[in-house]
Structure 1
């Protein structure tokens, strides 16, 4: 099972430092890790730096000693869309990225299983340009997973999905992380989703890591007041699950 050690990570664009001195140990195999924080906190830059797509100081080391972007797949908020390709073709191209173009029956069977698991097989031969934003988001998840990464970084993968699909995708990814021992980090804005589906949570604000640990320990009324500027309570529902209840925004 792959874990991740992040040591003094920074990202700078020109003279502006976006991420500064983030260090954290990310567990794997126990479920999802949420990355939360206000808009423009630096979550996307943090993911890009881990994936080797942004430059900066610090180190990203997996427990097997690999550094940089090896074995890491990054799913950005806005996936590029080649409207000429069908869904199936786009996933096949993702599977063959960095390898030869000879296609084996085994690879086609893997694509079939993945599209079925994500319940997008009916769209297999639709062009990407025909799909809604939410549908393209699900295809982007398939493109990331078909590469069989050890570490998967998902930047707001549910932002364009309806509530049913959000629950479906988060349940699927949580199961995949536990079953396959994959390290999956997901940037989320819905804090109740972080509490429900993510075992571990990192909080980034103003480009710095302000909290890290078990989701229930990290997402507190004090954190919501200090970081999100809202007055809120964490209460337990009838199934004894924690819920964020926001009372008001602070001036």
Structure 2
């Protein structure tokens, strides 16, 4: 009963899939024939491909597998252990359909798989190139910075020398300012002493002149001057100088 239900369901699905299969099989046949003409292999290569597809590690095991499978199938059919009926035909047709569909989809799936592999390979290669470029850039930056220590030492020595020169210049400026201030004080003292001497000399001359004028204006002084003048004249007369 179950086999009959399975047979009916497979027939129904086969009847529904028949138009699609009929539309697909010509394209598959055309593509297979075109591919066969385009990629026509020698019989030796086809035979080796079929042998490689068989299970087993050596030619002896593969031949034994084929002989064993053929013998078991013949024995099962001859002993009526397995009866070829409609279910077998439907199963064989279904397997053939799946095989045709698989062969038809093998090319596009292979192309898609290769495209995805190439895409992922391109992404990985680009990432590797970017990583290599970043590492090389970092290496170059580190190589450029390897002279930082010597440059820093030179700059430190230069700044130290500059600070020393600035300190010496500051000391010289301070000395110059002190010397200028001392000179200004000394000049002021010289001017003050000179002015004091001038005032003292003027005061002395004024006092002497006032004293002389006072002495000249006194009668005693005038008499002494007159007597001295008469005595000098008499002396000149005696000496016959006049």
So what's the TM-score if we normalise by structure 2? 0.18
Q: RCO higher in 1 or 2 (8 Å CA, sep ≥ 6)?
A: 1
Q: Greater strand share, 1 or 2? A: 1
The structure with the larger Rg is 2
So what's the TM-score if we normalise by structure 1? 0.17
